[in-house]
Chains A and B, each alone.
Chain A
Amino acid sequence: EIVLTQSPGTLSLSPGERATLSCRASQTVIGSSLAWYQQRPGQAPRLLIYDASTRATGIPDRFSGSGSGTDFTLTISRLEPEDFAVYYCQQHGDSPPTTFGQGTKLEIK
């Protein structure tokens, strides 16, 4: 099973700033099969990025994903008030189990 470790655990930034979230895998994620989700309090997760860098339908272009192998990054270029939430990475290869990182909480500074 691939273990995903996200850092930092909490990120404190102001609206308008740039956010960089990291996700490191315990072994190579084949095919860059990595997704990012946003979860606001009391809501279901929302898909942002899949296959490491492909934005999901309707996701603003201030969200971008990059990386391959074991190191992946989610970047939010200019934070909007609605972006403050918890973010999870998920490795989504063909063979189960799919696993998630423990999450990064993005909070307003």
Chain B
Amino acid sequence: EVQLVDSGGDLVQPGRSLRLSCAASGFTFGNYAVNWFRQAPGNGLEWVGVIRSKAHGGTTDYAASVKDRFTISRDDSKSIAFLQMNSLKTEDTAVYYCARGRTWVDYWGQGTLVTVSS
């Protein structure tokens, strides 16, 4: 069974850092891209960034709102992806989801809540 488990969400102060994890099982993780999305309370879905599979260069892209602050990485040997979030702002408060797929995404994690507040 394909599973993605998001973790690492917490309450942090503005300007601080946080790292989220996305642990995968039930499929060959290295063959797939991983996207990160977020959803602010009561709002819609927003794309955060993507890391492609090594077969597609392992490259990353980011939304303009997080570029230069957030970094996505992956460890295919452990079937895990990370979202490193630096210089957090109050507007980064959201539930963060990882999801499998390069364009459309077919499996999602359950989400992890990040609250940025002083």
Which residues of chain A come closer than 8 Å to B47, judged between CB atoms? 96-100
| Complex interface: chain A residues within 8 A of B111 (CB) | 44
Q: Judging by beta carbons under 8 Å apart, are B104 and A35 in contact? A: yes
- Total interface residues on A, CB under 8 Å, equals 25
Distance of A103 Cα from B39 Cα, bound (Å): 12
B106 and A92 contact, CB distance less than 8 A: no
Contact with A along B48-71 (1 / 0, CB 8 A): 001000000000010110000000
- Having A44-B97, A44-B108, A100-B44, one finds 7 other A-B pairs with CB under 8 Å, namely A35-B104, A45-B45, A47-B105, A51-B104, A92-B104, A98-B103, A100-B47
**A64 interface contact, C-beta 8 A:** no
Residues of A within 8 A of B (CB): 33, 35, 37, 39, 44-47, 50-51, 56-57, 88, 90, 92-94, 96-103
The number of chain B residues with a CB under 8 A from chain A is 18
A33 with B103: CB separation less than 8 A: yes
Please list 18 pairs of residues, one from A and one from B, whose beta carbons are closer than 8 Å in the complex, sorted by A's number: A33-B103, A33-B104, A44-B110, A44-B111, A45-B45, A50-B106, A56-B106, A96-B61, A97-B47, A97-B64, A98-B35, A98-B103, A99-B47, A100-B44, A100-B47, A101-B44, A102-B44, A103-B44
List of A residues within 8 angstroms of B109 by Cβ: 44
Chain A residue at minimum C-beta to C-beta distance from B108 = A44
Are the CB atoms of B50 and A100 closer together than 8 Å? Answer: no
